Structure 1
Amino acid sequence: MRILDKYILKKYLSSVALVLTLLLPIAIAIDVSEKVDKFLRHADLSVGEIIKDYYLNFIIIFGNTFLPLALFIAVIFFTSKLAGNTEIIAIHSAKISFTRFLKPYFIGATIITVFALLMNHFIVPRSNKIYEEFIRTYLATKKFDASYLNNVNLQLGPNDYIFLKNFRVENNMGYNFSYEKFEGNKLTYKLFSDNIRWKENDSTFTLTNYRKRYIFKDKDSIEYGTKLDTTFAFTPKDLVNVAYMAKEMTSFKLYDFIQQSKKRGVSNLNTYLVEFHKRTSLPISSYILTFIAVALASKKRRGGMGVNLAIGISLMFIYVFFLKIAEVLGAGANTNSFIMVWSPNIIFGALAIYLYIRNAKN
């Protein structure tokens, strides 16, 4: 690696770290001013717990969120400074092409991408779980009880559905249970019970005060009973997974959950798929945003660094806008979540290629 490459790579990484260091304290200060009264309401909540369980994870989550913005601003900032000091002109005068000039930026983007991939797939989900649990326990207006689930519905297969009014995880007991079986759009069988209890020893369910209804073409058949032992293609653990947010699962758990749900024939998993695909698409955007920033800032402009920053920040907000729109549309039932999540990268990737070609010719 040449001295020039080391110089630019050092500037790249140090500038990203500097921008993040400036952004995070501002975010923390704003959050403290909003939450301090809620912290003080809990006499049993120590400063150490607030820092360890809330703000440490706050830094991890929001640092990861701010990373693309920090990278874009940092690259524009120090590249504009290089152009303003005529260093880039000197580099080109030394017969170094624009493509060769991009090499240290590519290395820096690779380092950031690998770091962001590890964060998104493994570290941030764990931090999200602790962070959201802290919010539910101390900050949320309405308390959340993970051991008590309300209005649970689950699709077991292409034609099989279950419904539960309530389910207590502590004693594996559910109330107002129903199981429905369809053939196409036609209901053919329905099973009701006042209570349902999971027996872990033999992996069966016990239904209390049950009613079976068989629906035939010309008549119905109804059967009653006080107790029924049977099996279903789910366990209480599957019901709990439905209540958890996708962002709180590590990618391996999220992938297993998606595959398991697909086998059961769950029709719309796009909320989970959006979260899964986003964990890869956002880190990859480091390359795209880096090349766009270099292409914009490598030319010396009359307005100087301010013009480059204004253009860059405007593009960054447009990218974030497209990203949020893509997430919302991707969660819809009739959309391809993979295409929607990657569409901002595709659009801005095309812009990066255009700017690269234009700069490489000059």
Structure 2
Amino acid sequence: MTQGRPLLNRSLAEFGTTIFAEMSALAARTGAINLGQGFPDTDGPEEIREVAARAVLSGLGNQYPPGPGIPELRSAVAAHQARFYGLEYDPDAEVLVTTGATEAVAATLLALLEPGDEVVALEPYYDSYAACIAMAGGVRVPVTLRPQEGAYRLDLDELRAAVTPRTRLILLNTPHNPTGTVLTREELSAIAELACERDLLVVTDEVYEHLVFEGEHIPVASFPGMRERTVTISSAGKTFSLTGWKIGWITASPDLVTAVRSAKQFLTYVSGGPLQYAVAEALRLPDGYFAGLREDLRAKRDLLSAGLAEAGFEVYEPAGTYFVTTDIRPLGEGGDGFAFCRSLPERCGVVAVPNAVFYDHREQGAPFVRFAFCKRQEVLEEAVSRLKRLAV
């Protein structure tokens, strides 16, 4: 305490150490298999890592790169959006490189929100969303995705009812972490119509865009009237198994990019210069790379999902991402996901994450637990073997 005041800004008082840090520390302490935090246990393509190494050794990007990102990466991002989605962006005016998607979300919300502005977000949501809204002085308004017939679904009527005259923007994440939901064309079309009707901005986190197993990923910016009101966010971490590089980007209209850059320049300004050259090459990899990644993860999803079901969990098989959400109640565990996850390493030697941390309405997520399957097959097989102890 100083001068009778708490040290931490009150807007962040509800946010302590993240659940990922807690559960990863628990995994390290117990030697458990960590299926909690979503990072791969293998590195990305060797040829892309070699580009980064050569860039460092040759002096490319070792000093400050341009504030918006190196031209090569901005051009590669624009080419990626055109190649996969038919969206044309000017690499000089409509692309901004960020320190991962997390900074992109933070800079966007800091730039676009005034204190008291409401942000409608799909609950459960990645924990940084809530913190970023708070830092920007916004008010989060959750719309809950609920389990239905083996998957999580969005209630469009509930979404529409959540929008008020104070709503500034809708924050989307599709494919969705932690539920694995991939919003359908019909759902996205309805969201686009709502945004246009109520003159709302849309911020969409699409970092799992290439990890779709059922359905298809459709950027909301591709719908009529949405390009000029949408900030699209993605990154290299998930697509190329290079989460430590923290290279992300936004694509948006010039006015939106200018606004976000105004906030971003006072966060990190720039980062990852040599890595930006490598990510530019990665985005140009042939279609076979993206298809191979998807099929590899599909097989791992199926392996872990089957093992969890055999262990007694109710499994909500994801249509995208690399997470499986489960309900622990069929195991006779009650509905306390926190207690279950904290005891699981000692019981089975496996770490998972309680979904309740991703909810404002904690009771909605209490019985649900998330497992990551972005691990080597032999690791997943061992985890499945250990989890079978719960069924005994």
User: After TM superposition, is the score higher than 0.5?
Assistant: no
Sort the TM-score into its range (normalised by shorter chain).
Answer: under 0.3
Higher helix share: 1
> What is the TM-score when the length of structure 2 is the normalising length?
0.21
| TM-score (structure 1 length as normaliser) | 0.22
Between Structure 1 and Structure 2, whose CA radius of gyration is higher? 1
Which one scores higher on RCO, CA 8 angstroms, separation ≥ 6? Answer: 2
